[in-house]
Structure 1
Amino acid sequence: MNKVYKFFLGSIFVIVVLLALKFMLIGSGQISDSKTLYLYNWGDYIAPKLISKFEKETGYKVVMETYDSNEAMITKIKQKSTNFDICIPSEYAVEMMRDQGLLEKIDHKKIEGLANIDERFLNLAYDPGNEYSIPYLWGTFGIVYNTKKYSQEDFSSWKNLWDKKFEGEILSFDGARETLGIGLLADGLSLNTTDPQTLIKVRDELIGFMGNVKAILADEIRMYMALEESNVGITFSGDASNAIDANSDLAYTIPKEGSNIWFDNMVIPKTSKNQQAAYAFINFMLRPENAAENADYIWYATPNKKALDSIDPEAREDKTLYPDDEIINKLEVFKALDKESTILYNDLFLDLKISPHAE
């Protein structure tokens, strides 16, 4: 075999190995090619048709991975094992990720359509000036109930949930902040309370509430409420609206003390290797027609005020999804907790879950 031919074969072998290595790394997310967007999102949290539309319009291929909690998402971003270009954290998680140096600052000169977002949902405490995040969807936390058995007056206050008439009736959301929040709201306190003695007192008070809890669940609440397996569910507005859509005997309310208003947001993690694709995605989702299609698919509220003219009229008139300003003014955003407070919340919630009254 002559030297030229040997050199040619050797070069071909090296090229094949390098290409194979490249595609292996791309597949594992350790590097990104210039035509791929790596999206890290909640499960079933974007209209599939929008993914196809984005790919067709931009030429980028979307590779999406899902998570089921902000904490799981943050842990994976910290590991830097996958170069995600976009992820969708909740408001307190944006604050945490910013403080931990996990996010790129948003270059507002590259953003098209930020003016489409309702001014009420910009420049909030978790991200002043929207330096790191762009609102994606929003909602509230409240009570869905069966109108054949109860009226809105039965839920005029969070304190009412301690009434023995609700014994074995309540499906409560599986979350430390949300559960302790019920007790804090009932006492007229902030959802962001961190004083240990106050939280311990609230935990003790919630034992009475837990006596009325049939089960502690997550997304399943909407299904069980729709099937009338229970008459009271404490959950998020989008899930409540889905349950109501399936069962017209259900209604949703927020007690007079107020509740939590949450925001999920588009951010660019430091792991991003394709910021051009990330900005293309943000701008695509800021377009009113796309925001409307996404909101109609997920059935949560869009912060895009220009999209409201295009969303399903039934959704636009749904006070579960889009409450009046009088209600919104009573709502509070969760702030990120320090490590000690996070541990305390989780420990107190665990106490309640394993208490004799908890199922």
Structure 2
Amino acid sequence: MKKILMTFSGVFLLILVLLGLQWGLSASRNQDSSSSKDTLTFYNWGDYIDPSILKDFTKETGYKVNYQTFDSNEAMYTKIKQGGTNFDLAVPSDYMVSKLKNGGLLAKLDKSQLTGMDNLNKQFLNQSFDKGNQYSVPYFWGTLGILYNKKVVNGSDLKDWSSIWSSKYRHQLLLVDSARDILGMTLISQGKSVNDQNTADLAAAQGKLSSLMPNVKAIVGDELKLYMAQGEANIAVTYSGEAKNAMEKNSDLAYTVPEDGSNLWLDNLVIPKSAKHKKAAYALINYLNRPEVAAKNAEYIGYATPNQKAYQLLPNSVKSEQAFYPKQSILDKLQVYQNFNQYWTQKYNDAFLEFKLGKQ
């Protein structure tokens, strides 16, 4: 009987423990659900905001920020399209804004809830990928250009894109692994648009690009800036932000945008249609549009700010860097990528793949 009573007591105790656990988990879920009302999920590129800005934003507004990252526009698009995670704010590049918009994945901005739009340089507003900025607000911008070692390469010899075809750069050139960028700069060197959709023009560009191969040391991704900083190559085609990162590690490096033009890329703040915390999203967009906040962010990131009033707050040493804030004559020749349909995307990818196979 004692054994039976002890067994019964043990079972009863176990039931109480399980009930307690269930109650605790339920309470925890309710607590998490309650706290999530004040949590904004921000989907951004890695290390693409000064962390202290998010802390200050939370302190001022009470909105916490769940910061999640992606490593490519395509990965971001897939994640937003699949759903599952309700992102409240995201940072797609120019052509991807168009793709997201056309896919019905973005919320149209309520301009009455936006402040600080007059702080933005009109040069970066009303772009072809989002006329009237109905869905996007500029965040950072930059260019495609030439990064080079000043001790080996004379910067005055790099006035146009065709200069990198010179035989004196044989086996010294690194190229960023991007079909649109490399074919784009080749098209510009032939007086064409980076958005060219003419079969003969693309074939001519592919032909000229193949003649660049003797100069190409490697076609690489994110590691390009490290290779240049370490002196693994003397010249590279890359993005302004990557160039600045490399230059901070190696003072012998410099960056230039060829005078015949280049790509102007724009990263933008957008609110996905599936966002659950739109009020918080607008609050963060407005906070980032404040001149003092945008200037602080630009100094931390190293990319160019589209916020004209923030630009005025930057140190003169930064504002005078024409490689990153080009003169107007260069800005006027910059081109923004348009979103290609599947056919032309594949045509460019195939042409670039054939070029890369020639390196093997």
TM-score normalised according to structure 1 size: 0.90
Q: Are 1:204 and 2:207 matched, yes or no?
A: yes
Distance of 1:132 and 1:18 partners within structure 2: 39
SS in 2 for 1:308: helix
TM-score normalised according to structure 2 size: 0.90
Q: Are 1:118 and 2:101 matched, yes or no?
A: no
Offset of residue 204 of structure 1 = 2.5
Q: Are 1:107 and 2:110 matched, yes or no?
A: yes
Structure 1 unaligned runs (5+)?
A: 1-8
Give the one of 257, 267, 290 matched to 1:254. 257
- Contact 1:296-1:312 within 8 A present in 2 as well: no
SS in 2 for 1:251: strand
Distance of 2:345 and 2:168 partners within structure 1: 33
After alignment, is 341-350 or 12-21 more displaced?
12-21
Quick one: structure 1 residues 130 and 226, their matched pair in 2 at CA, closer, same or farther if it must change by over 3 Å? same
- Post-superposition CA distance 1:275-310 (Å, at most 9, x none): 011001100100111101110011000011111232
Aligned AA (1:191): V
- Post-superposition CA distance 1:115-168 (Å, at most 9, x none): 110111111111111100000000111001112122123222212222222111
Q: In the alignment, which residue of structure 2 is the partner of 1:349?
A: 352
- Contact 1:32-1:274 within 8 A present in 2 as well: no
Q: How many residues align?
A: 345
Quick one: structure 1 residues 19 and 79, their matched pair in 2 at CA, closer, same or farther if it must change by over 3 Å? farther
- Contact 1:136-1:265 within 8 A present in 2 as well: yes
Residue correspondence of structure 1 range 3-22 to structure 2 within 5 A: 18-19=26-27
Distance of 2:255 and 2:21 partners within structure 1: 65
Q: In the alignment, which residue of structure 2 is the partner of 1:67?
A: 70
Quick one: structure 1 residues 50 and 166, their matched pair in 2 at CA, closer, same or farther if it must change by over 3 Å? same
Q: In the alignment, which residue of structure 2 is the partner of 1:146?
A: 149
SS in 1 for 2:36: coil
Quick one: structure 1 residues 104 and 15, their matched pair in 2 at CA, closer, same or farther if it must change by over 3 Å? farther
SS in 2 for 1:55: helix
Residue correspondence of structure 1 range 269-308 to structure 2 within 5 A: 269-308=272-311
Offset of residue 17 of structure 1 = 5.7
Distance of 1:349 and 1:304 partners within structure 2: 35
Aligned AA (1:94): V
Offset of residue 244 of structure 1 = 2.5
Q: Are 1:327 and 2:345 matched, yes or no?
A: no
Distance of 1:53 and 1:354 partners within structure 2: 49
- Contact 2:141-2:303 within 8 A present in 1 as well: yes
**Max Rg structure:** 2
After alignment, is 304-313 or 83-92 more displaced?
304-313
Q: In the alignment, which residue of structure 2 is the partner of 1:6?
A: none
Q: In the alignment, which residue of structure 2 is the partner of 1:165?
A: 168
Distance of 1:107 and 1:14 partners within structure 2: 43
Residue correspondence of structure 1 range 31-46 to structure 2 within 5 A: 33-46=36-49
Q: In the alignment, which residue of structure 1 is the partner of 2:9?
A: none
Residue correspondence of structure 1 range 219-234 to structure 2 within 5 A: 219-234=222-237
Offset of residue 220 of structure 1 = 2.1
Aligned AA (1:115): D
After alignment, is 340-349 or 320-329 more displaced?
340-349
Structure 2 unaligned runs (5+)?
A: 1-16
SS in 1 for 2:211: helix
SS in 1 for 2:330: helix
- Post-superposition CA distance 1:164-221 (Å, at most 9, x none): 2211101111111001112211111000012233223322221111221111122322
SS in 2 for 1:150: coil
Offset of residue 10 of structure 1 = 12
